[in-house]
Structure 1
Amino acid sequence: MPQKLNNPKDLKAFYRLVNRKEVTHDAILQSHRKVTFEKIDRCQSPVLILHDATEMDFTSHSSVAANLGQIGNGHQRGYIAQNSLAVDSRTRCVLGLANQVLHHRVSVSTDETRSQKRERESRESMLWIKGTTPLGTDRKWIDVCDQGADTFEFLEHEVNSGRRFVIRAAYDRRVVIGHDAPTVLQSSKLKTYSRTLAPVGTWTLSVTHQVTKKSPKRNKGKKKKVTRIAREATMGVSFAAVQLMSPQKKCARHGNTPLKVWVVRVWEIDPPEGQEPLEWFLLTNEVVGSFAAAYRVVGWYELRWIVEEYHKGMKTGCQIESPQFTTEERLQPTIALLSIVTLTLLAMRDASRRSDAKIRRASEIISREYLSVLSAWRQGKINSDWTIHEFYYALARLGGHQNRKGDHPPGWQTIWKGWNDLQAMVTGVEAMTKLKKCG
């Protein structure tokens, strides 16, 4: 925290703040959530709530680590943070953090029965439901989740929530084809059936180069290195109305009634030799009856990368795992505050990459005080008319980025360093202003 708050008075004030009993993770989040929900109410477009979890590692913080849950391979200690990020589906602008749940992974007995697991509130699968608790109950809200959310319990919860949803399927579930109850059940497997459907349309997707390591099945053996080459992929899409059948063995709390949803399959047509084809199976309660509707659902899911970038910003930008507090009562509200600060950096970074970045005024998302100080440092004079592009790259320059044509866009660490330095400069200007008034 001393690196984040350079002014000793600000640092002491922050310590006093998080030391108060009423300043909790919940209280800070509730205040921010109120503003976020007001933005959602004013938004003219459907709002995506991007749900995802990330691990926060506090193993090195010996004074507090013993009280935290297991993460990683079981040897580390920390939180599983379930974040729910609100994003305007039309502009892709981040509206705020709709929810954040800090979860302690508990140690479970090896002889825990299926019924005991089903009733245990600390199940990690419950995080998806807990993350949606404060959300609205109308179709303006659209929950977007990756494969981790593919549990029958959560799917049933979403079908009954009043919201729309898009969830990437992880399992080849039993399904009944169609929404009308047939005289004779025509059952199949979700993925098997979807692969028999002809494409209703195609488009081209730019695929970036990526190197990943995949774990073998059942985590036995070494991880396999997989290289994905950059290419222009021809993508096909198909859809169908299906009913998801309840699992025969219940590991969670849910009913037996089939769930009426649509499955949208997206896949790469004729991938390059030796390349694993791209393929998604998306489950949604959005009515899908045309290529346009299917493509819209795919577009919603594609924006899920924003929450992954948010997690990178939390960890490598704001360094949310670095505060050296000795109690959870201080650590948790600090996590909430830094999570909210990350939103400003994310919004600024995304705005700098939009097509209107060179004409949109920086003052729309940045305080004029920060704008004045940075422009004076960069140009020797105050410029209130700076664009977002100009402000962002000046901030990156302050953080050490060279701004050369061949350089990659500034990363999270560079932006955070620039932001820290800019905060110190703003504090210095405030101090000088007070001195002039006194003298």
Structure 2
Amino acid sequence: IKVAQVTFKTKGETKPVNVVYAQEKTSKSVTEPLRWVLLTTEPIDTLIQALHIIDIYTARWRIEDFHKAWKTGAGAERQRMTEPKNLERAVSILAFIGVRLLQLREAITIPYYLRKKGLVEEAKAVEAQRCDTVLEEDEWKVLMRFNKPRGHKDKGAPSLKWAYQSIAKLGGFTDTKRTGIASWTAVWEGWST
């Protein structure tokens, strides 16, 4: 990790910007290290501050996934309203739905990547989380009418993995790629159903 402050000059105006350069350590498995050059206005005077900037950036992929859930999944981009205030209200409500869809999808994607890293027990723990952490009781009970989990004998809320897969199947998901990860459109169609 290296830090510096640089100054950009634009149209006779100068703007100071802090730079954090981070490079992954090389190892037997990492032959081409990952390198990030991060520009920020946040302070970088200490190692903890520099690490905080890196930590913020690592959430970028999750933010991108939320935007996909919100825009493509929940349909924020499909809204056709003539009044800006109505559009603002609609997409605000859809943002909450996007968060719930993202929570459901992470029940599949996080274990998928944990298994790729050999963390099988951690993957199983994520998959075993109960769906009532994301869905209301009436929601998962209605979902059970469409797709009752195998071996489930009124033991309470099934797993998040089951809920995600059930919703995706309602949206037409068939898992042809064998990843278990449905498109945002399939998840939304299932949610809508």
What is aligned with 1:349? 105
Q: Which residue of 1 aligns with 2:147?
A: 378
Amino acid at match of 1:285: P
Q: SS of the residue aligned with 1:353?
A: helix
Matches within 5 A, 1:86-235: none
- Please state how far the C-alpha of 1:351 moved relative to its aligned partner: 3.3
**Residue matched to 1:412:** 184
The answer as to whether partners of 1:263 and 1:282 remain within 8 angstroms in 2 is yes
Are the equivalent residues in 2 in contact too, given 1:351–1:357 (CA < 8 A)?
Answer: yes
Q: How far apart are the structure 2 equivalents of 1:300 and 1:329?
A: 31
Residue 23 of structure 2 aligns to a residue whose secondary structure is strand
Provide the C-alpha distance between the structure 1 equivalents of 2:7 and 2:49, rounded to a whole number of angstroms.
Answer: 24
Match of 2:114 in 1: none
Equivalent residue in structure 2 for 1:263, among 20, 30, 35: 20
Query: In the alignment, is residue 239 of structure 1 matched against residue 7 of structure 2?
Result: no
The percentage of aligned residue pairs carrying the same residue is 24
Residue in 2 aligned with 1:105? none
Given the two structures, how large is their TM-score scaled by the length of structure 1? 0.34
How far off its partner does 1:315 sit?
2.3
SS in 1 for 2:99: helix
**Bigger proportion of residues as helix:** 2
TM-score, length-normalised on structure 2?
A: 0.70
2:54 is the alignment partner of 1:285? no
Query: Which residue of structure 2 lines up, in the alignment, with residue 317 of structure 1?
Result: 73
**8 A contact 2:105–2:181 mirrored in 1:** no
Residue of structure 2 aligned with 1:308, choices 53, 64, 72: 64
Q: Structure 1 or 2: larger strand share?
A: 1
Quick one: distance in 1 between partners of 2:105 and 2:87? 27
Q: CA RMSD in A?
A: 3.3
Q: Which runs of 5+ in 2 are unaligned?
A: 111-122
Q: Could you say if the C-alpha distance between residues 382 and 376 of structure 1 is closer, same or farther in structure 2, counting changes exceeding 3 Å?
A: farther
Distance 1:246 1:407 in 2: 45
Q: Which structure's CA Rg is the greater one? A: 1
Distance in 1 of aligned mates of 2:176 and 2:8: 57
Following the alignment from structure 2 to structure 1, what is the Cα–Cα distance between the partners of residues 24 and 159? 39
Q: Report the secondary structure of 1:280's partner residue.
A: strand
Amino acid at match of 2:43: N
- Cα pair 1:376 1:383 within 8 Å, conserved: no
Pairs aligned (count): 171
Question: Which residue matches 1:360?
Answer: 129
